[in-house]
Amino acid sequence: MNKKLGVYVCHCGTNISGTVNINELVEFARSQPDVKVARDYKFMCSDPGQALLQEDIKKEGLDGVVVASCSPLMHEPTFRKACEKANLNRYQFQMANIREHCSWVHTDKVAATAKAKALLSGALGKARYLAPLPSKKVPVNPATLVVGGGIAGIQTALDIADSGTKVYLVEREATIGGHMAKFDKTFPTLDCAACILTPKMVSVGQHDNIELMTWSEVEEVTGYVGNFKVKVRRKARYVDEEKCNGCGICQEKCPYKAPSEFDHALSKRKAIYMPFPQAVPKIPVIDKETCVYYKTGKCQACKKFCATDAIDFEQKDRIEEIEVGAIVLTTGFQVFDASKMTPYGYGRLPEVYSALEFERMNSASGPTGGEVRMKNGQKPKSVALVHCVGSRDRRFNEHCSRVCCMYSLKFAHLIKERTGAEVYNFYIDMRCFGKGYEQFYQRLLDEEVRFVRGRVASITDFALDENEKGKLVVRVEDTLLAETRRIPVDMVVLANGLEATADAPMVARTFNISTGKDGFFIEKHPKLAPVSTATDGVYIAGACQGPKDIPDTVAQGSAAAAQVLSVLARGEIEVEAATSEINEELCAGCRICNTLCPYTAITFDPVKETSRVNDALCKGCGTCAAACPSSAIHAKHFTDQQIYSEIQGVLYDARA
Amino acid sequence: MTHEPKIVAFLCNWCTYTGADLAGTARIKYAPNVRAIRVMCSGRIDPSFIIDAFAKGADGVLMGGCHPGDCHYINGNFKTFRRMPLVTRYLEQYGIDTKRFRFEWVSASEGDRFAAIVNEFTATLKGLGPLKLRTEGIVVPQPADPSDQKSGGHAPRGAMARPEARS
Amino acid sequence: MAKIKLGAYWASACGGCDVAILDINEKILDLAAAADILFWPIATDFKYADVEKMPDNHLDVTLFNGAIRNEENEHLAKLLRQKTKTLVAFGSCAHMGGIPGLANLFNREQIFKAVYLDSPSIDNKDSTVPHRTTQVPEGELTLPEFHNTVRKLDQVVDVDYYVPGCPPNPKRIWEVVETIVSGKLPKKGSVIGASEMTQCDECKRKKGEKKITEFKRLATAQPDPETCLLEQGFLCMGVATRAGCEHRCQRSNTGCRGCYGPPPGVYDQGLKALSAIASVVDADTEEKAAQLVGALPDPVRYFNRFSIPASPLTRRAL
Amino acid sequence: MKYIYYPGCSAHAGGRAYDESTRAIAPLLDLTLQELEDWNCCGATAYMNVNEVLSFSLTARNLALAQKEKAPVCTPCSACYTNLAKTNSYLGKFPELKTKVDTALAEAGLKYDGSVTTKHLLDVMVKDVGLDKIKSQVKKPLTGMKVAPYYGCQMLRPISIDDNPENPSVLENLLKTLGATPTKFELRTWCCGGSLMGTNDEVALRLCRNLLLSATEGGAEVIAVTCPLCLTNLEAFQGRVNSMFGTKFNIPVLYFTQLMGMAFGLTDKQVALKRSIIPFRRKPQTAVET
């Protein structure tokens, strides 16, 4: 083939020309086959620089352009645009990185120039076989799937739905609300969680653009950004969601009880129940384990009293298929199980509570109606708050859970307020980084809450002297007083850390994203793409990405919504053109490639007995091409031939 | 004059190539013997590329990818580490010192490490001296030209031979 | 129609290719009818001198089998190239170096030592090894030079066509003969008498998604005759080998050896097979991967069994 | 099952009851305890604080001797156990220490390759011999006997036997197997004062007092121990504890091996009951006519 290539060497001021002999490099370029023009310029990325190659493309009819300058990660888009403006396909442009990979890292001018030649000749080698690729666009399905109905999911769903587009909100529990629904107050403002959350829950329930799918889980996701197909399992509720009007008579009449999950077993709920009065949707669910009907076939109290005949004991799980253009994961976190830390006696010593149990105890709608009471009904005279339970601990979670310091301060305040008890905080470091947080800490200091700097060793009910009798003794090394102390208290509240949900890896697999060492989902870029993931069209928000307080979670929820809307607004999206392609003439259907694609872009056609690439799914990694034993797979823009030619190029000066 | 080994480096776009860029922006100096070829994923690196580089006169081949688990394409580098142990043994059987072939996981933030690896590798190769292959007047087989579908697997001699390649 | 002038020669090879020509059975008569065989040492009595006497391009077609192992092979290759219009590399050895090519993992000295000195079955008290020339009372005796490196035919002379196979499948041979006689030959440098696709295209075994959990060997395990051997962990070169042989090996429940060479567009058959097979081992950690593929006893002799001289490195570094 | 038996110094002095009862029950469990030839001090107590290398070298000598026997080392003493285990792991972890110790050993014409495994007798009983085998030997179950299971510290820290050092249970399980009732003993993993009794008895006595308090509160009639030093502190110093804190402790302390012996139907003499300072009266059903 006969190519007409143009070579443009950039001085980048003195960044390149200071180390690389530009003239020598240009001369070298001229000596190369297929090179029609070779020029140099102070700043190729500048307008006149771009104009330079644009003129040549038109005048000389170049069908390939090589710019020797900085890293392609820096300016490839710039020059690709420039080429396109001159009607040269963006994929007929190639860059030689003689700055980051050469002039900036070498000092010896001769060696640097020789290397620059190698890199340029490599780029030329590739350019000789570059081919134009058409840009591909696919339409975007305007609906969105939000997975997880906690505050993050609620925020995201509302923001998107308010813009007038459809949202499916899938929640595995019987109601939305997530952890926040269990809280009484929120730090540092101490405004009531329910007061700010329930209105949002209600508007989700009533929103015309939100289709709420509670008691449901996502089973399978196929497709790609703009066009996902999702299978949702609607678990049998044994209550017809259409018929039920949420009157609650069934709960009243149901004679059987079980510990309430929502109240962490501090109270009981019926066999047919709504987790809590403000639940959305106001539709109960039957707990098959507890319901006597499923054991004896008798009772049916709920059915008898139901005015709308909504009870359906025979209901089965069903799979619903939906199609969406974008997905937001807001699957949240789970709290650390404190019983793993035997010395703290959680589960063994009755007056040792987990943070969420204590939240419920404080809640006006909770088991004690918001009163802080011990099991014996008494008010505690002294309470210990133990920080970092399962956080900042190599044995369990190395990370800091970010919220424990603050919610412990909140607890301290509530305890003081409601019982006047002596309150001790046992902390490693106080981390009060948010807006108004440090001020809140100061306020608590003024309220004469005690702060003991030291990690608690153990909590015991063994008394060494009279004033320890009947109390829980917190043993701790006070690192400020440099002595070990025994502090007797009536009640201990553990600040359980936040950790990734146990099924996070499975969820990650379903949605084709990845989890980090700490188990939380990995964002595309920790700073510049915090709610995007490596999979286009799948976003994450809230504590599923890492421990977060409510303000940060809500902020991320809105951020994810904005990301989604920007995709939907485009109406169509450009998909990578440098994808893989299978030549069916050569594909013998060995199916080696079938399992290799991380995006399941390769499917096997049993009729033709050949494999095929769905280039909307393909991200162009080229793994399949490297493995295809019959060279039937062609990795566009990184073809075997382009790479072999590039290898030949970089070894221009090697003995063959 | 001492022998200056030629290293062909196949670097994945997202981690190692970016890491090498970082070495640049941080002005970390290293040996000029390495010549990078950018691919999108280390999974794209066909063992044939590595062998071809040796056949075309490289004294060493370096391969860089994302740390397993951090692959931009989720698990492209899994395929890489499945292939590479065999490539090493293949080289061994062809009498090429396996120290001439390295594959390393270098993340986008490990510019200093990239530089260190290149320096260390260059030193090793200087120690080994130039790679001497064959040959009793055998012409290096050339990669086939896909446009030439009927070729015997190996295109006619010099199909892609460029004047500068024969020296 | 005028009969074509046919030559056939056997260089460094086992002779199987010549036998395969005879395996076209009764068609041998049609061959005789269509062609005058002017040179075929295994079947007919000709001397090299007869060939030397021929005018250039006297032979229309020569089917040249065997690799170039020594001076004699090389001399005949050059001679026949000169006397032949259409030179065909016939069989794996001429095509890619074949089994003799395995010797490229050693050099002359090692080979002589193994064959003439160390071999347990040999009785060679005065340790005689071949020499190019030997003085005897009657004068000087000469042997053809034994080269260090085995070469495929097109590494010595220009080749017009390639017929792969160890040996080529008789059906294909007859087709090739017909093509030659008909004169409807494809463009120079083509592989003829084989498919453009790999073995999997013809192989009748059930093929599913590939995930190799361990490598098995016939010595210790029995493959299921219905399903793809590779999926069962038995190495099979079929994925990277041209079809055409009627997948003889797979039909006899053993993996393809790769004698039909790479499909068009494949640079090196061995490396492609290596890449393909390693890519589908069931290992998600480096340790597991190393351990799994580590179980392959002899990668090069397996993946490049017939094609070491054709591989990019062509031989073990000297 | 064969083990190299490393009794440690106290087994031949204060802890003879431990040694005798162990030797008495071992055969019943097909347990061969071959005493280590020419063993020396484990390097416990003062050594470790005065001269670490010397301490490690002492233990290393024992290990080097045991190495020849090609069997795991078993010791009844927690202090010995800790020192043996610690030496094993440190010699692996710290090459510079190893070189020093190696030179010391070389002087004695010895060499240690780190191959010896070291176990505490309790671990051997529960994990290697196994509760089933033990159960099969129980002739006179200790029914109704309330026993405070005392682990002490060195068996669990820093290098624990095969159990959860923060919430161990092997000793309880053993006692249940013998038919006894393990009582709630909050401080069962706390320090007995160890060798502080010799240097700072005030502290040591307070620690003992805490233990005795915790044990008696649980309603125990006897404390089961796994270490001669623990026994000495808990038993021999009850008088001083009482006079110092005005308490009235008078609770027998026995080695778990003695309890095993009783349950196996051995005589008071065989399990060396008479060596106790605070006499332990066996209930009729476990008593054996002597």
From B38, B44, B140, residue closest to A656, measured CB to CB: B140
Render the burial of A346-372: b for 16+ CB within 10 Å, e for the rest: beeeebbbbbbbbbbbbbebbbbebeb
Quick check: do D and B touch, 3+ CB pairs under 8 A?
no
How does pLDDT run across D233-288, given as a tens digit for each residue? 999 999 999 999 999 999 999 999 999 999 999 999 999 999 999 999 887 766 66
pLDDT band at B157 (very low <50, low <70, confident <90, very high): very low
| Rounded-to-integer distance, Cα D52 and Cα D55, Å | 5
Cβ-nearest to A462 among D164, D166, D214: D214
CB-based contact, B29 to chain C, within 8 Å: no
In 10 A of CB D283, how many CB atoms? 13
Report whether pLDDT(B145) > 60: no
Q: How far apart are CA C226 and CA D65, in angstroms?
A: 62
- Is the CB of D203 inside 8 Å of chain A's CB atoms? no
A609 to chain C nearest CA, in Å? 8
User: Which of A462, A472, A484 should be substituted to probe chain D, the one whose Cβ sees the most D Cβ atoms within 10 Å?
Assistant: A462
Residue B59's nearest CA partner among D169, A650, C236 is: A650
CATH 3.40.50.970 fits A334-499, yes or no: no
Find where tokens 């001083």 sit: D240
How far does Cα A44 stand from its chain's mean position?
A: 39
Rounded to the nearest integer, the mean pLDDT of chain B is: 83
Residue pair D280/D222 in contact (Cβ under 8 Å)? The answer is yes
Instruction: Outline where DSSP puts E strands in chain C.
Output: 4-10, 35-39, 59-65, 68-70, 84-90, 133-136, 139-142, 146-151, 161-163, 190-191
Res A310: pLDDT: 95
Please report, for residues C149, C170, D12, the alpha-carbon distance to residue B137 in angstroms, rounded to integers and kept in the order given.
10, 34, 85
On whether the CB atoms of residues A633 and A593 are closer than 8 A, the answer is yes
Q: Domain C1-194 sits in which CATH superfamily?
A: NADH:ubiquinone oxidoreductase-like, 20kDa subunit (3.40.50.700)
CB contact B52 to C (< 8 Å):
yes
Which of A253, D244, D211, C107 minimizes the C-alpha distance to B136?
Answer: C107
Beta partners for residue A383, in sequence order: A423, A491
Chain A residues touching residue B41 (CB < 8 angstroms): 621-623
The amino acid at C301: R
Using the beta-carbon criterion (under 8 Å), do A73 and B160 form an inter-chain contact? no
Could you tell me which residues are beta bridge partners of residue D219? none
Q: Give the model's pLDDT for residue B143.
A: 60
Residues of chain C with pLDDT under 70: 1
B98 to chain C, any CB pair closer than 8 A? The answer is: no
C78-135 per-position pLDDT tens digit: 999 999 999 999 999 999 999 999 999 999 999 999 999 999 998 999 899 998 999 9
Tell me the pairing of strands A318-324 and A227-234: antiparallel
Angle at A607 between CA A602 and CA A610, to 5 degrees: 40
Task: Evaluate whether A180 touches A152 at the Cβ level (below 8 Å).
Answer: no
Domain boundaries, chain C: 1-194, 199-303
In angstroms, what CA-CA distances link C40 with A16, C21, C59, C156, C279? 67, 11, 12, 21, 46
Whether the predicted interface score ipTM is above 0.90: no
CB burial class (10 A; 0-12, 13-18, 19+) of residue D116? buried
- Among A509, A581, A590, A602, the residue to mutate for chain C (most C Cβ within 10 A): A590
Judged against a pLDDT cut of 80, whether residue D89 lies above it is answered with yes
Phi and psi torsions of D43, nearest 5°: 90, 15
Residue C208 falls in which region: left (phi positive, over 0), alpha (psi -120 to 50) or beta? beta
Main-chain dihedrals φ then ψ at residue A506, nearest 5 degrees: -65, -45
Residue type for position A301: A
**Three-state secondary structure call for residue A415:** helix
Nearest chain A residue to D190 by CA distance is A458
Q: Where are the alpha helices (DSSP H) in A264-325?
A: 293-296, 301-305
Tell if the CB–CB gap between B131 and C271 is shorter than 8 Å: no
**Percentage of chain B lying above the pLDDT 70 cut:** 79
Both tokens of residue A1?
A: 């083939």
Residue A23 Cα, gap to closest chain C Cα (Å): 36
Question: D273: number of CA atoms within 13 Å, CB side?
Answer: 18
pLDDT of residue A294: 94
Interface contact flag, B79 A653, Cβ < 8 Å: no
The token pair that represents A331 in the structure block: 């699957």
Q: What SS3 state is found at A613?
A: strand
Question: Does B144 have pLDDT greater than 80?
Answer: no
Residue with tokens 């591909």: A136
Asked if C214 is an interface residue toward chain B (Cβ–Cβ < 8 A), one would say: no
What top-level class would CATH report for the domain D2-120? mainly alpha
Q: How far is it, in rounded angstroms, from Cα A95 to Cα A290?
A: 68
Distance CA A124, CA B88 (A): 30
CA distance A170 to A350: 37
Tokens 């999926």 sit at which residue?
A: C231
For tokens 């043993």, name the residue.
A475
What residues of A are in contact with residue B53 (Cβ under 8 Å)?
Answer: 647, 651
Q: Which residues have a Cβ under 8 Å from the Cβ of C276 and sit 6 or more positions away?
A: A590, A592, A627, A628, A629, C239, C240
DSSP structural state of residue A303: H
Instruction: Out of A55-59, A612-616, C246-250, D174-178, pick the least confident.
Output: A612-616
pLDDT band, residue D289 (cuts 50/70/90): low
- Cα–Cα dist B108/B120, whole Å: 19
Residue found by looking up tokens 């066009």 in the block? A227
Alpha-carbon B89 to chain mean position:
16
Q: Predicted confidence band at B155 (pLDDT cuts at 50, 70, 90)?
A: very low
Per-residue tokens: B54: 């040796």
Same fold, A144-331+509-570 and A334-499: yes
This model's pTM is above 0.80? no
> What's chain D's Rg over C-alpha atoms?
19
Residues in A lying within 8 Å of C, measured between beta carbons: 585-592, 594-596, 604, 609, 623, 626-631, 640, 644
CB contact under 8 A, D213 and A464: yes
Query: Cα(D29)–Cα(D263) distance, rounded to whole angstroms?
Result: 13
Quote the CA–CA distance of C132 and C123 in Å, as a whole number: 21
- The residues, any chain, with a CB within 8 Å of residue A478's CB and separated by 6 or more, are A452, A453, A454, A484, A485
Chain-centroid distance of CA C76 in Å reads: 18
Give pLDDT, residue B152.
39
- pLDDT tens for A299-346 read 999 999 999 999 999 999 999 999 999 999 999 999 999 999 999 999
Question: Which residue, among A369, C105, A256, A227, has the nearest Cα to B89 in the 3D structure?
Answer: C105
Query: A462: which chain D residues are within 8 Å (Cβ-Cβ)?
Result: 186-187, 214, 217
Interface of C with B in 84-143 (CB under 8 A): 95-96, 105
Query: Does the beta-carbon distance from A629 to C275 stay under 8 Å?
Result: yes
User: Tokens 């396909």 belong to which residue?
Assistant: A89
CA-derived radius of gyration, chain A: 32
Using CA atoms, how far apart are residues B9 and B38, in angstroms rounded to an integer? 8
Assess contact for A558 and A159: CB atoms under 8 A: yes
**Alpha helix positions (H), B47-110:** 47-55, 76-93
DSSP H stretches of helix in chain B = 16-25, 47-55, 76-93, 111-128
**What pLDDT is attached to residue B154?**
41
Please report, as a single letter, which amino acid is at residue C239: V
Cβ-based neighbour number of residue A249 at 10 Å: 15
Architecture category of domain A580-635 in CATH: 2-Layer Sandwich (3.30)
**How many C-beta neighbours within 10 Å does residue D105 have?**
17
Measured in degrees and rounded to the nearest 5, phi and psi for residue C270 equal: -60, -50
Rg of chain C, C-alpha, whole Å:
22
Pairs of residues, one from chain B and one from chain C, whose beta carbons lie less than 8 Å apart: 162
Residue B138 touches partner C, C-beta closer than 8 Å? yes
Question: Which architecture does CATH list for D135-275?
Answer: 3-Layer(aba) Sandwich (3.40)
Tell me the two tokens of residue C316: 């073990």
Domain boundaries, chain D: 2-120, 135-275
Name the DSSP class of C229: T
Chain C residues 20-79 with CB within 8 Å of chain B: none
Decide: D227 and D79 in contact? Cβ < 8 Å.
yes
The span from the CA of D280 to the CA of D274, in Å, is 9
A&B contacts, CB < 8 Å: 168
Select the CATH number that applies to the domain covering A5-135 from these four: 1.20.1250, 1.10.238, 1.10.3470, 3.40.50.
3.40.50
- Taking the C-alpha atoms of residue D233 and residue D191, their distance in angstroms, rounded to an integer, is 10
Q: Where are the beta strands (DSSP E) in chain D?
A: 2-5, 32-35, 73-75, 118-120, 146-149, 181-182, 222-225, 253-255
Q: Where are chain A's structural domains?
A: 5-135, 144-331+509-570, 334-499, 580-635
CATH architecture of A144-331+509-570: 3-Layer(bba) Sandwich (3.50)
Q: What is the mean pLDDT of residues B39-67?
A: 95
Mean pLDDT, chain D, integer: 92
Q: At what angle do helices B76-93 and C269-279 cross, to 10 degrees?
A: 140
% chain B with pLDDT above 90: 65
| D142-186 confidence digits (pLDDT tens) | 999 999 999 999 999 999 999 999 889 999 999 999 999 999 999
Phi-psi region of C10 (alpha: psi -120 to 50; beta: other; left: phi over 0): beta
